[in-house]
Amino acid sequence: MVNPAFAGRTYPPTPAYEVGREKIREFAEATGAHPAHTDPDAARALGYADVIAPPTFAVLIAQRCDAQLVRDPEAGIDYSRVVHGEQTFVHHRPIVAGDRLVAVLHVDGVRAAGGHAMVTTRSEIATEAGEPVCTASSTLVVRGES
């Protein structure tokens, strides 16, 4: 059973994730590439300093951040029972190649619903200097033992 005492917990910032051009390209090619993700000139024509990440790229950073909770034995989350329920990204600005991003995990809620547990997490992703870049929120459903 998921430990309700984790609700409201905030974690220290993660180590920096350095956003690489080629990682953006790889992710974009896996999800349907727009030239702004793969061609620096196309990105510059739209006003960006370098290639920008696709709208859901931040999940790479958010899922690493969530892992602090999910992989903590004290939290009582059986990962084989976890289903992704909801995901939201609020982009304060696009992620650009070369960004070094840190994330702070907030456990916004742990509640029981119909034999399952719903865990709501929020990763506040920012530059190392503290500029907000993306808020990624997710709801994980931990299916109950049936």
Partner 1 sequence: MIAFDDVAVGDSLPGASFPVTREHLVRYCGASGDFNTIHWSQRIARDVGLPDVIAHGMFTMATAVRVVTDWCGDPGAIVEYGVRFTKPVPVPDVGGAVIDVTAVVAVKDDAARTVRVDLTATIPGPDGAGPVGVLGRARAVVRLA
Positions in the binding site for partner 1 (CB under 8 A): 26-27, 29-32, 34, 36-37, 46, 48, 52, 54-56, 59-60, 63, 80, 83-91, 94, 137
* Smallest distance from partner 1 to CB 50, Å: 12
* Smallest distance from partner 1 to CB 58, Å: 10
Q: Which two tokens stand for residue 36?
A: 């702004």
How is 11-78 classified by DSSP, letter by letter? Answer: -PPPPPEE--HHHHHHHHHHH---HHHH-HHHHHHTT-SS-B--TTTTHHHHHHHHHHHHT-GGG---
* Smallest distance from partner 1 to CB 130, Å: 20
Judged by beta carbon, residue 44 or residue 100, the one nearer partner 1 is 44
